[in-house]
Amino acid sequence: DIVMTQTPLSSPVTLGQPASISCRSNQSLVHSDGNTYLSWLQQRPGQPPRLLIYKISNRISGVPDRFSGSGAGTDFTLKISRVEAEDVGVYYCMQTARYSRSFGQGTKVEIK
């Protein structure tokens, strides 16, 4: 099974400052078709998850450009360039590399 490990699990951030979340897998996420199906989701309190980024770095339409994704192989990062109040919530990475999917444990972003 592919295990996704996120760090940190909690990230208190000052408004306007950057935030960074790491996601590591226990095996390569490169699919047999050559793509890497690593996505990032945001879950605001009391809401269903919302897709932010797919295939490592592709932002969904409507997602602010302060969100960016990067990485390769087993190491991936979500960055928020300047945190705003509406960014509070839990962020999850998710992989689809084989005939299954798995999520990281989630990283809670809160305002200091």
Partner 1 sequence: EVHLLESGGGLVQPGGSLRLSCAASGFTFSNSVMNWVRQAPGKGLVWVSTIGRHGDTYYTDSVKGRFTISRDDSKNTLYLQMNTLRAEDTAIYYCAKDLPGDIFASDYWGQGILVTVSS
Query: Which residues of this chain interact with partner 1, rule CB under 8 A?
Result: 1, 37, 39, 41, 43, 48-51, 54-55, 60, 90, 92, 94, 96, 99-106
Least spacing, CB of residue 67 vs partner 1, in Å: 14
| Whole-number Å distance between alpha carbons of 88 and 15 | 10
Please state the closest distance from residue 16 (CB atom) to partner 1, in A: 28
Residue 67: name the closest of 109, 12, 105, 8 by CA.
Answer: 109
Q: By C-beta, is 68 or 105 nearer to partner 1?
A: 105
The residue count for the chain:
112
Strand pairing category for 67-72 and 58-59: unpaired
Closest distance of CB 43 from partner 1, Å: 8
Nearer to partner 1, 77 or 105 (CB): 105
Distance CA 109, CA 52 (A): 15
State which residue, 85 or 100, has the beta carbon closest to partner 1: 100
Looking at beta carbons only, is 65 or 100 nearer to partner 1?
100
At a CB cut-off of 8 Å and minimum separation 6, what does 58 contact? 69
Min dist CB 15 to partner 1, Å, is 26
First and final CA of the chain: distance in angstroms? 36
